[in-house]
Amino acid sequence: MPETKQSVLGISFDGVAMSGLIAEFLKVAHFFHAEGYETYLNLGYDIKADKGNFFRKTANEKNLLPAWVELCDFELDVLKGRYNEEFVSSILDAYVTRDLDIPIDVNAQIEELSDAIADALVNKFNELNVAYLIVENGTLPENIIFTSALYKAIERYGVASKLGKYVFWRDHDLMQTSEPLGAKYGAFPYKNVPKPKRSNFIQYIVQHDFNRRHLVSWANVSNISVIPNCFSMERKMPTLKNSSSRSAFGIPENAFLIAHCTRIIPQKRIDRELYLLSELMKRLPQKDIYLFVTGDPAENPAESEKLIAYANQLGISKQVVFGGCFPTFDSDFLNGTKSEGFTVWDILANADLSSFLTSYDYESYGNPIGEAIAAGVPYLTSTYSLYDDVYGRSGFQGILMKTSKDHDGMPEPEFVNEVAEAIANPRQLKQIAEKNFELGKQLLSMEFLNGKIRAFLKTSRSNRSKKTVVQRYSASV
């Protein structure tokens, strides 16, 4: 019988159907899809315990993804009595957040379960004839049982299949950069968190040098590449606005439009955009200024209601559009066709400014800025903790609201004045956006990302044995 077509498999530790993590996976997977590999994705329902999806089978989630991606579940149902969200949550709380010593009997349970899960993973790798594995956020210790299992499975399958470096292990978030003030993941040196292992099969990847330095100092591994989040930039900057998306939401053609394209959660600090709009309207009464906010109001209903009430309190509700959830910025590129409705790209293509006044310690990257750069739109942002590492030191320019660990409040008059002056000088804004766009083509484009993947594959293929049939490691749970 002919061998099953080789595949690339993604494993997300996010535990949700669609997120920024999934969007970044799709960009890497798109390269492999174009090379002829089958593409599979596991959403991490049986990994992350706080999303309420443990042991849920994927079904309609397929509709959220490009047609070339197939979802797959790991066969872990037989472990339900011992491996479940209650046990995973208790491990996270006691031995990660509170950093307690792991008792011998609990450690034995963790080892036993991670061995059984590793066997199930290897069986799935064999079934799908996995040639490359993409792990998203595997180091962040949401589930140290599964992390340990995955490391075991990678080694077993790599040895049995005589592979070279076949794993992209991409850490978007690390303990140091994922809401560190809340200490969800305990304190350095994170004694119970599985550290990245030296492996002949794994290429570790982070998005910026801050995370690389911390990973090196904590785990003492040197095999780490820095690859930023990248965006589809082959489209030219919009010179004529597509007025249809404006009219669809009741925004006048000649209004000055500020877009905030994120989720509606407290950490994104959308209240800052509302306050900024109210202050701009006072300073520029002759200007018709609108704010467009994307995001699913059902994700955090309390925050949505709070923002609507705040807009009413400020007297700006007629100038604010809560547009709802939209397909991602790169969805048309990844799908290969134009979306039926509007995407984040369409919103930005109609915007005069992109605003991202996020909390100081929440972001591990800051995609809305990269999306604005790729759309040729000027941006304003808070100087969140990683802004300089991701964008500032690379030479990108925006209007900056100064924030810090000790100063993370509302926009101050100096910042509001700077934004007002920029709005009154659209030619200068356009020049900044053009410079950002040209720099972005060098540092943040899909062509840049694809070049990094090709370099990885060249090294990987030179290290793997020539074979026509994958040697099977057989295991059963």
Structural element, H or E, at residue 346: helix 344-349
Structure tokens of 252?
């006048």
What is the C-alpha separation between 368 and 62, in angstroms, rounded? 25
C-alpha of 374 from chain center: 17
- How many Cβ atoms from other residues are within 10 Å of residue 197's Cβ? 14
Quote the pTM value: 0.88
Q: What SS3 state is found at 260? A: strand
Could you tell me which residues come within 8 angstroms of residue 124 by beta carbon, excluding any fewer than 6 positions away? 9, 72, 74, 75
The closest of 306, 302, 359, 300 to 325, measured between CA atoms, is 300
Amino acid at 346: D
Could you tell me which residues come within 8 angstroms of residue 47 by beta carbon, excluding any fewer than 6 positions away? 11, 13, 15, 142, 143, 146
Sequence-ordered strand ranges (E) for 104-235: 130-136, 167-171, 202-206, 224-226
Grade residue 468 by pLDDT with cuts at 50, 70 and 90.
very low
The closest of 414, 446, 472, 310 to 26, measured between CA atoms, is 446
Length of the chain: 477
Backbone angles phi, psi at 471, to 5 degrees: -75, 130
C-alpha of 112 from chain center: 31
pLDDT at 19 over 90: no
pLDDT at 320 over 50: yes
In the chain, pLDDT over 70 holds for what percent of residues? Answer: 93
The closest of 124, 95, 125 to 109, measured between CA atoms, is 95
Q: Are 447 and 30 in contact (CB under 8 A)?
A: no
Grade residue 473 by pLDDT with cuts at 50, 70 and 90.
very low
pLDDT at 471 over 60: no
pLDDT in tens, 244-262: 778 899 999 899 999 999 9
Q: Indicate the average pLDDT of the chain.
A: 91
Amino acid at 61: E
Over residues 215-234, the mean pLDDT reads 91
pLDDT at 401 over 60: yes
- How many Cβ atoms from other residues are within 10 Å of residue 19's Cβ? 18
pLDDT in tens, 354-395: 999 999 988 989 999 999 999 999 999 999 999 999 999 999
pLDDT in tens, 426-438: 999 999 999 999 9
Structure tokens of 142?
């949401």
Over residues 401-411, the mean pLDDT reads 95
Over residues 287-302, the mean pLDDT reads 95
